[in-house]
Chains A and B, each alone.
Chain A
Amino acid sequence: AQSVTQLGSHVSVSEGALVLLRCNYSSSVPPYLFWYVQYPNQGLQLLLKYTSAATLVKGINGFEAEFKKSETSFHLTKPSAHMSDAAEYFCAVTRGGSNYKLTFGKGTLLTVNP
């Protein structure tokens, strides 16, 4: 079985500051890992995914995440926050070899202050 823990339900940063959203996973088999973003009243949009290739994954909108097996982590970062990054971010895991039955974390709400 897989599970995801997102540390911090709410993260607030200043515009231009580093964004760091934490995700730890638990999986009995090699996982696939995903970060999704959700804007108000919209569905989820895929930011990036890890599927056992390069451990540093680059996504859209300047985001990237690093898979660290030893720490069972897949933290999301962006060097410089924009106001438009304000949204809710979800980390998700599924068993390697298949991307269905995503298991999501509870989400982290990112606020960007001017």
Chain B
Amino acid sequence: NAGVMQNPRHLVRRRGQEARLRCSPMKGHSHVYWYRQLPEEGLKFMVYLQKENIIDESGMPKERFSAEFPKEGPSILRIQQVVRGDSAAYFCASSPKDSNQPQHFGDGTRLSIL
């Protein structure tokens, strides 16, 4: 399967812990996007990254959230000191270098905060 791979599929954390969500884009894709889906809501854009660069992070909360897409390895969405309100499904998408191509989505990581 050469699709967008996200892991873990499910992640449980206690309040105050850190959550790390990983995303490997489709082969040949160099653009990565992270979205958050709250219950009963559509997906909300969080951040757009290219290799080693954050292009647009206008949807990221100002504190506790960070994202990276290193030269080697997957993209990481990191949430520090998680709170109950961080419980959501987090989706990663990728697209080729031409950003006019549609985004392909992974199956998401369901984050639950106890």
Contacts and interface: CB of A to CB of B under 8 A. Distances in A.
Interface string A13-39: 000000000000000000000101000
B40 A106 contact: yes
Given A43-B105, A44-B105, A104 B33 contact: no
Interface size class of A (residues with CB under 8 A): 20 to 34
A98 B102 CA distance: 10
Nearest to B42: A104
A9 B40 CA distance: 9
A40 B35 CA distance: 17
Given A90-B42, A102-B43, A106-B42, A43 B99 contact: no
Interface in B21-73: 31, 33, 35, 40-45, 48, 55-56, 58-59
A4 B99 CA distance: 21
B56 A100 contact: yes
Nearest to B56: A101
B1 interface: no
A99 B101 contact: yes
Contacts of A92: 42
Contact of B107 (A34, A41, A98): A41
B103 to A, nearest CB: 7
Contacts of A100: 31, 33, 48, 55-56, 95, 99, 103
Interface string A95-114: 00111111111110000000
Residue among B41, B59, B91, B100 with the highest chain A CB neighbour number at 10 A: B100
Interface of B: 4, 6, 31, 33, 35, 40-45, 48, 55-56, 58-59, 91, 93, 95, 99-108, 110
